Amino acid sequence: MSLTIQQPERVKKRFVFSDLQLRPFLLALVCAVILLLALTAAYAAGDRNPYAGDAKAAKAGEYEFRINCALCHGLGAHGGGRGPDLTRAQKKHVHSDEEMFQVISNGIPGTVMPSNGTNGQGVGMTDEEIWQIITYIRSVEVKAPANAAGIAAHGKELFYGDANCSLCHMVEGKGGRLGPELTAVGGSRTRESMIDSVRNPSRQLAWGLTEATKEFPQEYETVTVVTADGKQIKGVALNEDNFSVQMMDGNEQIHLLEKDKLRSFQKSRESMMPKYSPDALSDKDLQDIVAYLIGVGAK
Amino acid sequence: MTAGRLLANLLIAGLACGFFAPPARAQVTFERLLNSGKEPQNWLTYSGDYSGRRFSSLDQINITNARSLVAKWVYQTGATGKLETTPLVADGILYATAQDDRALALDARTGRPIWMYQHQLPGDIRPCCGRVNRGLAILGDKVFLGTLDAHVIALDTKTGNVIWDIVAADYQKGYSFTVAPLAVKNLVVIGVSGGEYGVRGFIDAYDAATGERQWRFYTVPGPGEPGHETWEGDSWKIGGAPAWNTGTYDAVTNQIFWPTGNPSPSNRGEGRAGDNLYSNSLLALNADTGKMNWYFQFTKHDEHDWDATQVPVMIDAGGKHLIAQANRNGFFYVIDRTTGKLMFANAYGKTTWSDSKDAEGRPVAKKEASPTLEGHTVCPGALGTTNFMAPAYDPQTMLFYVTARDQCDIFSTAPQPYEAGHAYYGSAYFPSEDAEPYRGFLKALDPTTGNIKWKFEHTSPTWSGVLSTAGGLVFTGDAEGNLIALDAASGKASWHFQMGGAVYAAPMAFAVDGKEYVAIAAGSAVYAFALP
């Protein structure tokens, strides 16, 4: 007896485009309905900012911004460790109020910008509140062009040359691996915080690996260990838990170590990045490097 | 009849006669809950017993052999988000919850599911902090689940079938349940969540047989009730004071001790002048009537979201009947549970909000600790020195173990109008960039003095609770995914296992067929460990 399993006879008929071609009228009707629905939805979501320029709405928006956005974008929308400075008139992902509404509602895939109501904290903002927040952001925008200060071309030369940034940092696939990759940094951090990171690299360590279920990301802490055979290794922590550490040394070698097998383990928040004083890197040169990074980050 | 069929018939006959039935699955009576210490193989309440100690008298796994612990099974829930459940174990079956109001029963030896239940949640629920649930209560032949849309549901322990399902409050106004209920006598006691939505908090008791409500205690007193005068105007109507963590029960005095959370709005005191009773309090309620015998308020007129919802642990020491609570505000309080009088309150973490105490010895908030428009830094931050992480008390070492965090936040006011069902914070808080990096600890506190006996520092702050066992061990989890066994006397780590997901739950212990297990939820899974 054959063991072949018979296919069920009734295969659900698939809906194919050719069906529509046979019914041009139906197609037109469907298209019209879709168009109508889309228009209605767009109108219902508030295609236009109903509060544009309204100072009272901007104030309400400021409080909503503090509650919903400031964790990443900073108090005053000046940007934080995670989110871009929103006081810049020129933004990477959005231009119009309507685009901003879409981004706040739906998030930006591939970034940490979440869609409204998905952070587990309640049901999210109402449309009205989103428009208030947009009105607030518009009210604090500084209309200066993003690249006014600094000469990006010279900054690029310095980055890959005399300033030695590229020994440890990579931009657009070129550079070292020990420090954070900086292609996007110009789009996500303020000019002031980038300058501060060069002048005082240890004041606020950069964030590294973020694990999905962990509350805090890894930071670029400096780790110094002495192995069981007496070898000292100094480098940057890639990740760590109570019992193991994954680190990269100055030669970009990765070391995977169990803490209880080490002779000593020391962790420091003194960054491996040298502190660039104005003597080593002038304010003007630093401005140029930042201008370069902002230019790359805006792409 | 072949030999095989004969055997099969014999087996069926044997089963019918009960010869081959597993150990009698006796119902979990109130007497068994009261005397849970006599059956350490089972874990019958959220905290392991009515005292809230989260202590197991099992000692097969102990300080000498913990190094050889191995994972015995892993159960994947398939749910995403934080898994905060503490499983129950009764007679070889493990009952747990998971995100989005799942409940499940597993073979405690193998982790294989017996039944699964998932409550159908509406799309517009109002969870405060994730679609979480912390566990079930068991009584008779039912387990009880509180849901994110504010239902209380009784499930059949054998099938997971719904026996009754009642609606306690309107979820669209921000009411929800995340707590593991507590079964006492014939009642299912449960406290509501929603302190972020301007709910009026309550603790309910339902008849376990029918689901009929037997009493409700409003944690915000209404007009004419004592304590009502501690609210400005109509602020009591949306005063918060939720009750979202499991309390304890003292059979000698027939009192339920249940802690309450923040007044609403959580981070703004303007508009609710007064102490805001009974927010951030410990309540002593008559188990039969829900009438309050006494209360102790930890943080008056709170403006930092410092819920006092930590498990109130009953401790008997020095001839005194006490309750110890390591509070979210950074102080460790020990209270005489007969009178409700404070014995002492000592800081067990970094605190900057109080530099004085009142006549009763209660820390008093500095005026400057209030949030401001510009924002300023206060320690602990809004997440608190501890939070919902279950603590443990070990009667052998006489130490109280608690997960602690040092973190300061910038508190900044952000006035919001109240709108039903809409988040109602009144302020925003941010990690303080200039402060020290956040640090996480397991701390062992002496409840007679409040002193810190030892501390174990984690790589980063953890949300894991703690289990202590008669094997001289303390178990806890870390944010990096390890379950860790430590020497209960010294805090030295003796074993760990990397589970691959952060821990938001507390460990528990049980035994089946004479073999001790330690179970904990991490990532999206429940793990069980035992000796090889």
Residue numbers in A near B484 (CB within 8 A): 242
Side by side, the strands of the sheet bearing B399-406 are B392-394, B399-406, B439-445, B452-457
Residue B423 near residue B196 (C-beta atoms within 8 A): yes
A24 and chain B: CB distance < 8 Å anywhere? no
Q: Among A148-157, B8-17, B100-109, B484-493, which is the least confidently predicted range?
A: B8-17
- Which amino acid is residue A50, in one-letter code? P
pTM: predicted TM-score of the whole model, two decimal places: 0.88
Judging contacts by C-beta atoms under 8 Å, the chain A residues touching residue B523 are: 213
For residue range A187-228, list pLDDT tens digits in order.
878 888 899 999 999 988 888 898 877 888 899 999 999 999
- Residue A230 to chain B, least CA–CA distance (Å): 24
Cβ separation of A66 and B412 shorter than 8 Å? yes
B459–A215 CB contact, under 8 Å: no
Domain A202-272 in CATH 2.30.30.100? The answer is yes
Unique residue bearing structure tokens 């910008």 = A113
- Which of B459, B482, B492, B498 to probe by mutation at the A interface, max A CB count within 10 Å? B459
Q: Cβ of A242 and B127 within 8 Å?
A: no
Give the Cβ contact number of residue A149 at 10 Å. 14
**Which residues neighbour B385 within 8 Å (Cβ) at sequence distance 6 or greater?**
B326, B327, B328, B329, B330, B348, B349, B350, B351, B404, B405, B406
- Give me the interface pTM, i.e. the ipTM: 0.86
Tell me the per-residue pLDDT of B119-146, one tens digit each, with 9 for 90 and over: 999 988 988 888 999 999 999 999 999 9
Instruction: Provide, as residue numbers in chain A, all residues whose Cβ is less than 8 Å from the Cβ of B480.
Output: 211, 214, 240-242
**What are the pLDDT digits (tens) for B352-363?**
999 999 999 999
Q: What is the pLDDT of residue A297?
A: 87
Counted across chains A and B, CB pairs separated by less than 8 A come out at 95
% of chain A with per-residue pLDDT over 90: 49
Answer yes or no: do B461 and A75 touch at CB < 8 A: no
Question: How much is the pLDDT for A122?
Answer: 59
Backbone angles phi, psi at B251, to 5 degrees: -65, -30
B233/A163 Cα distance (integer angstroms): 64
pLDDT of residue A79: 78
Average pLDDT along chain B: 94
3-state secondary structure of B107: strand
Residue at B164: amino acid letter: W
How far apart are the C-alpha atoms of B213 and B166, rounded to whole Å?
A: 9
Rounded to the nearest angstrom, the minimum Cα separation between B51 and chain A is 31
> Closest residue of A to B148, CA-based?
A122
Q: Do domains A55-140 and A202-272 have the same CATH topology?
A: no
In this structure, are residues A71 and A119 in contact, taking their beta carbons and an 8 Å threshold? Answer: no
Closest CA to B153 of B165, B169, B137: B165
Whether A242 and B502 lie within 8 Å, measured CB to CB: no
Percentage of chain A surpassing pLDDT 70?
80
From the list A80, A123, A242, the residue facing B459 with the nearest CB is A242
Question: Residue A148 above 80 pLDDT?
Answer: no
How far is B27 from B32, CA to CA, in rounded Å? 9
Q: Which residues pair with B156 in a beta bridge?
A: B142
Distance CA B230, CA B219 (A): 12
Q: Assess B500–A contact: CB distance below 8 Å, yes or no.
A: no
Residues 6+ away with beta carbon under 8 Å from B331: B298, B345, B346, B347, B348, B351, B354, B363
CB B449 within 8 A of CB B477: no
Active site residue B305: yes
Region B440-444: what's the mean pLDDT? 98
pLDDT of residue A145: 58
For the cut 70, the answer to whether the pLDDT of residue A120 exceeds it is: no
Residues in B 109-148 with any Cβ partner in A closer than 8 A: 124-131
> Which residues make beta-bridge pairs with B83?
none
B317 or B257, which is more confident: B257
Find the helix or strand (DSSP H, E) in which A191 lies: helix A191-199
Exposed/middle/buried for B144, CB within 10 Å: 0-12, 13-18, 19+? buried
Q: DSSP label at B240? A: B
Kindly report the nearest CA distance between residue B410 and chain A, in angstroms.
10
For residue A255, which of A242, A240, A272 has the smallest C-alpha distance?
A240
What residue has token string 């007497």?
Answer: B31
- The minimum CA-CA distance between A122 and chain B, rounded to whole Å, is 5
What is the rounded CA–CA span in Å between residue B435 and residue A220? 17
CB contact under 8 A, A240 and B433: no
CA gap A79, B161 in Å, rounded? 51
**DSSP helix/strand/coil, B16:** helix
pLDDT of res. B33: 98
The token pair at B320 is 């005194």
When scoring B480, B496, B499, B503 by the number of chain A Cβ atoms within 10 A, the one with the most, hence best to mutate, is B480
Residue A229 in contact with partner chain B when CB distance is under 8 A: no
> Does the pLDDT at position B423 exceed 90?
no
Q: Where are the domains of chain A?
A: 55-140, 152-199+277-297, 202-272
Residues 6+ apart with CB under 8 A from A166: A159, A160, A174, A175, A176
Q: Across the interface, do B437 and A269 touch by the CB < 8 Å criterion?
A: yes
Q: Which of B129, B433, B484 sits opposite A121 (nearest CB)?
A: B129
Domain spanning A152-199+277-297 has what CATH number? 1.10.760.10
Do residue A120 and residue B437 have CB atoms under 8 angstroms apart? no
CB atoms near residue A144 (< 10 Å) = 12
Nearest to B150 by CA among B388, B421, B419: B421
CB spacing of B478 vs A242 below 8 angstroms: yes
101-120 in chain A: CB under 8 A from chain B:
120
Query: CATH 2.40.37.10: does it fit domain A55-140?
Result: no
Q: Answer yes or no: is pLDDT of B9 > 70.
A: no
> Is residue B317 within 8 angstroms of chain A, CB to CB?
no
Tell me: the pLDDT tens digits for A17-31?
333 344 555 555 555
Q: Which of A79-93, B152-166, B192-206, B243-257 has the lowest mean pLDDT?
A: A79-93
Rounded CA-CA distance B450/B400 in Å is 9
A115-129, A171-185, B43-57, B73-87: which has the minimum mean pLDDT?
Answer: A115-129
- Say if residues B174 and B420 touch (Cβ distance below 8 Å): yes
**Which candidate in B100, B250, B275, B305 is catalytic?**
B305
Supply the DSSP symbol for A262.
S
pLDDT in the model for residue A47: 73
Closest CA in chain A for residue B428: A67
Average the pLDDT over each of A190-194, B412-416, B435-439 and give the range with the smallest value: B435-439
Give the pLDDT band of residue B436 (cuts 50, 70, 90).
confident
Residue numbers in B near A204 (CB within 8 A): 433
Q: Is A281 left (phi over 0), alpha (psi -120 to 50) or beta?
A: beta
Structural domains of chain B ordered from first start: 69-530 (2.140.10.10)
pLDDT in tens, A236-255: 999 999 999 999 999 999 99
pLDDT class for A12, splitting at 50, 70, 90? very low
The gap from C-alpha B136 to its chain's centroid, in whole angstroms, comes to 11
- Cα–Cα separations (whole angstroms), residue A170 to A43, A55, A188, A246, A272: 45, 43, 16, 20, 16
B400 burial via Cβ count (<10 Å: 0-12, 13-18, 19+): buried
What are the pLDDT digits (tens) for A161-193?
A: 999 999 999 999 999 999 999 998 888 788 888
Please report which confidence band the pLDDT of residue A32 belongs to, taking 50, 70 and 90 as the band edges.
low
User: What are the two backbone dihedrals, phi and then psi, of residue A130, each rounded to the nearest 5 degrees?
Assistant: -65, -45
